[in-house]
Amino acid sequence: MVEQWRITGAIGAKIAATIKADGAELCALQDGAGHDLLWDAGPVWPSHSPVLFPIVGQVAGDRLRIDDQTYALTRHGFARRRRFEWRERTATRCSLELRDDETTRAVYPFPFRLVLTYVIEDGALRVEYELTNSGTEMMPASLGAHPAFRWPLHDGVQTDYRLEFDVDEPAPIHRVTDGLLDPAGLPSPIEGRVLPLDPKLFLADAIIMLEPRSRAVRYVGPGGGLEFRWNGFPQLGLWQKPGGDFICIEPWHGHSSPVGWDGDFRDKPGVMLVAPGETRSFSWSVRPIT
């Protein structure tokens, strides 16, 4: 079994990536000069870029309710802990697949096919997700990305960095309480299109944007930055674990259960319902910028 695969693009490409079969996780990302852009999965948070499926965040009591049954399912679901199968490996792209089996159906009783494809093209890494309902009934699901980029990315200190959204973001943000979404909105720390970054922003856990207007953000500071874009994901989370030298930019379809909500998963706020035979597609991309 090939454990990891590195894609580099054409000669002179400005980005290179390494993906591992476990969790179909992006585990290394370098620019054209060989500078590491991705968090190194240190002890503070031992992940790089986990795949969140079939839930994003938590459900109340770590219990997934479907009809009259209850299933034990912990934060962010099981995909990040499962080994995906390779479907394609070339110099510029690779593709991996996860299908349901007895283990997944014991905690999530739906047949599915989840394919991740990593592509280097035009100086960017693009990550594509295809989620297919391979069963005969409507499938409720959530899906999210969780890439962690180095912070500081190049030079300076963390407070030298900022996020620049592609449009103004005046809407309130949300936080979590004991892992669950607080439905009460809070004033946004985003100043027009700009969020000055500071570790103090994340002492109360993630910043959750339920309806961001933007579909791109620039993460910039001394020495350059990254342009991050996403499609198909309606929510966005921003997160740092205190003490970590990283910032996560996380496009999601779905989020933690709201505080006080403990109903059937099909009715959960933020969940998508995928019809039998239907495939839903999502993507995000990242490009080094100067």
Judged against a pLDDT cut of 70, whether residue 5 lies above it is answered with: yes
| Phi-psi group of 213: left, alpha or beta (phi > 0 → left; psi -120 to 50 → alpha; rest → beta) | alpha
CB 186 within 8 A of CB 201: no
Q: Are strands 63-66 and 51-52 parallel, antiparallel or unpaired?
A: unpaired
Q: pLDDT tens digits for 185-215?
A: 999 999 999 999 999 999 999 999 999 999 9
Cβ density class 108-134: b for 16+ within 10 Å, e for less: bbbbbebbbbbbbeebbbbbbbbbbbb
Q: What confidence tier does 12 reach under pLDDT thresholds 50, 70, 90?
A: low
**pLDDT over 70 at 11, yes or no:** no
> What residue ranges define each of the domains in the chain, with the CATH number in brackets?
4-289 (2.70.98.10)
Whether the CA torsion 55, 56, 60, 61 is positive or negative: it is: positive
Is the CB of residue 272 less than 8 Å from the CB of residue 253?
Answer: yes
Region of 80 (left: φ > 0; alpha: ψ -120 to 50; beta: rest) is: alpha
Structure pTM? 0.97
User: pLDDT tens digit string along 146-162?
Assistant: 999 999 999 999 999 99
- CA dist., res. 143 & res. 278, Å (int): 15
Measured CA to CA, the distance from residue 253 to residue 72 in angstroms comes to 21
Whether the per-residue pLDDT at 289 is higher than 90: the answer is: yes
Q: Is the pLDDT of residue 1 over 80?
A: no
